[in-house]
Structure 1
Amino acid sequence: MSSRISQIASQLDPRSWSGKSLASHKVKHDDDVVIVATARTPFCKARKGGLKDTKFDLLCMQMFKSLLARSEIDPTLIQDVVVGNVHNDDSEYYIRAASLAAGIPNTSPTLLVNRFCSSGLMAIRTVANQIQAGEIDCGLAIGAESMTNHAGRPYSFSQELNAASQEAQDCSMPMGWTSENVAGQFNISRQKMDEYAARSHNRAAAAQAAGKFDAEIVPITVPDGQGGHKLVSADDGIRPSTSAQDLAKIRAAFPQWAPSHTTGGNASQITDGAAGVILMRRSLANKLGKKPIAKYVSCAVSGLEPRIMGIGPALAIPKLLEQTGVKKEEVDLFEINEAFASMYVYCVEKLGLDPEKVNVNGGACALGHPLGATGARLVVTILKELERRNQHVAVVSMCIGT
């Protein structure tokens, strides 16, 4: 490696940043990675909601077109298109076709990333990393998932893997099992899980009624299942009248696994949806006269035992704060995906977070969790809320299957 490349690599490695602090990250540099456009579709119940007749490729095309419209930039500026998706079949083909159909030129390649529930966030991270590395100046990142169209194929590991490692065997277990493991191992009560889930619905209902989601949602025209089309403009999974007392009446979703605290009411909904951002180098944004919405700073990922994968944010968030030199008290807002209330309760309490700073407009218990889309949706949602509050520092995190 030449000395010049070594110097650049050192500058890009967060571990080598000198004087790491929030103040240092607030300084504006031409090479900063900035977000210039954000958008999401409505999040709708899989198999029965507003997007149930919308195929994955159409969902992606609509998201691409919406971001281009909001950014008002020339599509030829997009140097890479990165999509987070988890389980839609042959999605590599569909995202390329959707990109071209949306008017993005064939000189802009596409890339699929899959890190389960963080795939949308990993799409953003991938584009940001390319800009930080000097490889591109502008890219489009989305997360999208049509859970209505999941094939639901069974899978199993080779006998050699299972014989070699209990943790390898654990990777084949359903996510509901991991939720019960968290509840049991860390003494998370059913009552507390229901209370957190009810708060999610109550906050989301209040945000929807106040029109807060209107700023982040782009209404999209989709098939209506009867040969025509319809406009979908709002999330349809929120239950405004939800209470912890009502949730307590719902039977356990996984009675085969103790303590059987997880239910259809205190876990994320199965949902269709997409969300995304356009990122570029600050110098390009300045040249184009685009006012940055936010600056991307850094990302941290942590591994842990698959059987309790839900507590991941409690490991990744401290790692990120250490990496950037930002203090927990300096963070204005947190978004932690509510995959299951058990993990959400654990992470908020373990990290000692102020509940009034976490998921202030509700989360996946109310809005749903389209696997590949959620990471991007959290970014879109939290940036809009920062803007409303005239605040500046946000952290997004989620647990990841296995």
Structure 2
Amino acid sequence: MKQVQDAYIVAATRTPIGRSHRGYFRNTRPDDLLVKALHAVLAQVPSLDPQAIEDLICGCAIPEGPQGLNIARVGAVLAGLPTSVGGITVNRFCASGLSAIQMAADRIRVGEADVMIAAGVESMSMVPMTGNSPSFSPLMFQNDENIGIAYGMGLTAEKVAQQWKVSRDMQDAFAVASHAKALAAQARGDFTAEITPVEVVDRSANLDTGEVMEKRRTVSMDEGARADTSLEGLAKLKTVFAARGSVTAGNSSQTSDGAGALILASEKAVKQYGLTPLARFVSFASKGVPPHIMGIGPIEAIPAALRYAGLKQDDIDWFELNEAFAAQSLAVMNTLGLNPDKVNPLGGAIALGHPLGATGAMRAATAIHALQRNKLRYSMVTMCVGMGQGAAGIFERV
């Protein structure tokens, strides 16, 4: 399709990331998290007429249970958006949120819309990673090529660690660095501009009186980073996915809950509503790789996104490389020769968490605000994707 106009990000925010099952949002519904992100991102552009919003595209990796029934439309209605604003939920697993941004940008770039919302949401506390009743096709198990689709993510990380020769020591050192960078970023306040504080309500019953007790608190920081993470501590953890493997809970991403949202606009809308662009959407690429080594997806997606943008790898000032596992992150970085100083300067999913379908939108908020804060030009969000894919998107500071 012919590109007729640019798409600009004019607002970007995210909730804090909570640990699943025992964290901030263990009792918070995902549609409520999405509503909080939508309210917050709209508040960043008070001059925008909500009637101008064409559609809401929301990424969600496991769209069932409390995040089913087309959570994008549910979120739009519950957030009080005009009924004229539609909603569609998209699923590219870990790249769902990034794909939502790409789809929203493309609607604008081909002239079919002037204002779009892109978002991502996931509650791994309320919906398990494989869903409530997974059902695999028997054809997956008829040959070695297809069976990789059914591999658990941890087993694919073990395959990558073996093939790319990423040792346990390398993985643990990478994990320690992720926590250290995240803690330092929190201390500096680097996440403040991108995070919307969320009031959490915890309810409990007093069985003696029959009263329902409420406890309210406001959370404003990701809760995954741990100051006590050390090489010595990680070395004591047992491998999880293979008896003689190297992948542990400590050098893998944390299962998490969270949501993020961005507003994209055309140049026409920017001028009409007096908006201030944060970044321009530059390019997006998705590529398939063998399912049993899904973690290498960015090795294929990053060069493609650069090619579409007419850029070189050295042109990118900031990489948000989703740390699904230390093994795959290191394999990608080493294979492509990524500058480690440019990769996840604020830490990554090992420390901060990885709420699956929300991650792309949340990391885009990080990458876009990093461009503004540091006065850089280009940032990239990239990740591996379950069942053998990679995705990458590029943003330019305006």
Aligned to 1:95: 72
Quick check: 2:119–2:260 contact (8 Å CA) kept in 1? yes
Displacement after TM superposition at 1:240 (Å): 2.2
Specify whether residues 325 and 42 from structure 1 end up closer, same or farther in structure 2 by C-alpha distance, changes over 3 A only: same
Aligned to 2:158: 180
Displacement after TM superposition at 1:106 (Å): 0.9
Q: Secondary structure at the match of 1:296?
A: strand
> Are positions 1:65 and 2:39 aligned together?
yes
Shifted more, 292-301 versus 148-157: the winner is 148-157
Displacement after TM superposition at 1:317 (Å): 0.4
Distance (Å, rounded) in 1 between the aligned partners of 2:163 and 2:107: 40
Shifted more, 66-75 versus 272-281: the winner is 66-75
Q: CA offsets, 1:319-359, max 9 Å, x none?
A: 11122210111111111000000000111111111111010
Aligned to 1:80: 55
> Are positions 1:130 and 2:107 aligned together?
yes
> Are positions 1:31 and 2:41 aligned together?
no
Aligned to 1:218: 196
Q: Which letter does structure 2 place at the counterpart of 1:157?
A: F
> Are positions 1:388 and 2:377 aligned together?
no
Shifted more, 181-190 versus 220-229: the winner is 220-229
Displacement after TM superposition at 1:71 (Å): 1.9
Quick check: 1:88–1:146 contact (8 Å CA) kept in 2? no
Of the three residues 269, 274, 279, the one matched with 1:289 is: 274
Q: CA RMSD in A?
A: 1.5
Aligned to 1:236: 223
Displacement after TM superposition at 1:254 (Å): 1.7
Displacement after TM superposition at 1:158 (Å): 3.1
Q: TM-score, normalised by structure 2?
A: 0.90
Q: Secondary structure at the match of 2:385?
A: coil
Q: TM-score, normalised by structure 1?
A: 0.90
Q: Secondary structure at the match of 2:44?
A: helix
Q: Which letter does structure 1 place at the counterpart of 2:194?
A: E
Q: Which letter does structure 2 place at the counterpart of 1:209?
A: A
Q: Secondary structure at the match of 1:142?
A: strand
Displacement after TM superposition at 1:51 (Å): 0.8
Distance (Å, rounded) in 1 between the aligned partners of 2:186 and 2:300: 31
Specify whether residues 88 and 157 from structure 1 end up closer, same or farther in structure 2 by C-alpha distance, changes over 3 A only: closer
Aligned to 2:209: none
Q: Secondary structure at the match of 1:307?
A: helix
> Are positions 1:336 and 2:321 aligned together?
yes
Distance (Å, rounded) in 2 between the aligned partners of 1:121 and 1:168: 26
Distance (Å, rounded) in 1 between the aligned partners of 2:348 and 2:116: 27
Aligned to 2:208: none
Q: Secondary structure at the match of 1:188?
A: coil
Distance (Å, rounded) in 1 between the aligned partners of 2:98 and 2:62: 16
> Are positions 1:208 and 2:186 aligned together?
yes
Displacement after TM superposition at 1:154 (Å): 4.7
Q: Which letter does structure 2 place at the counterpart of 1:107?
A: S
Displacement after TM superposition at 1:166 (Å): 2.6
Aligned to 1:3: none
Q: Which letter does structure 2 place at the counterpart of 1:377?
A: M
Q: CA offsets, 1:192-236, max 9 Å, x none?
A: 101111111000000001111111110112321334233221111
Distance (Å, rounded) in 2 between the aligned partners of 1:158 and 1:46: 29
Displacement after TM superposition at 1:155 (Å): 2.8
Quick check: 2:70–2:88 contact (8 Å CA) kept in 1? no
Quick check: 1:140–1:278 contact (8 Å CA) kept in 2? yes
Of the three residues 118, 126, 144, the one matched with 1:166 is: 144
Distance (Å, rounded) in 2 between the aligned partners of 1:190 and 1:161: 30
Aligned to 2:391: none
Distance (Å, rounded) in 1 between the aligned partners of 2:74 and 2:306: 39
Aligned to 2:92: 115
Distance (Å, rounded) in 2 between the aligned partners of 1:299 and 1:357: 19
Q: Which letter does structure 2 place at the counterpart of 1:96?
A: R
Quick check: 1:35–1:296 contact (8 Å CA) kept in 2? yes
Aligned to 1:315: 300
Distance (Å, rounded) in 1 between the aligned partners of 2:183 and 2:109: 38
Aligned to 2:255: 270
Aligned to 1:144: 121
The structure richer in helix per residue is 1
Specify whether residues 231 and 286 from structure 1 end up closer, same or farther in structure 2 by C-alpha distance, changes over 3 A only: same
Aligned to 1:157: 136
Displacement after TM superposition at 1:88 (Å): 4.1
Distance (Å, rounded) in 2 between the aligned partners of 1:376 and 1:295: 15
Distance (Å, rounded) in 1 between the aligned partners of 2:21 and 2:75: 22
Gapped regions of structure 1 (runs ≥ 5): 1-8, 13-29
Distance (Å, rounded) in 1 between the aligned partners of 2:164 and 2:263: 39
Displacement after TM superposition at 1:63 (Å): 1.1
Gapped regions of structure 2 (runs ≥ 5): 205-212, 388-398
Displacement after TM superposition at 1:161 (Å): 4.5
Of the three residues 352, 357, 371, the one matched with 2:356 is: 371
Aligned positions, number: 373
Q: Which letter does structure 2 place at the counterpart of 1:235?
A: D
Distance (Å, rounded) in 2 between the aligned partners of 1:216 and 1:192: 31
Displacement after TM superposition at 1:264 (Å): 0.8
Aligned to 2:210: none
Q: CA offsets, 1:334-386, max 9 Å, x none?
A: 11000000000111111111111010000000000000111111111111111
Distance (Å, rounded) in 2 between the aligned partners of 1:279 and 1:96: 18
Shifted more, 307-316 versus 226-235: the winner is 226-235
Q: Secondary structure at the match of 1:398?
A: strand
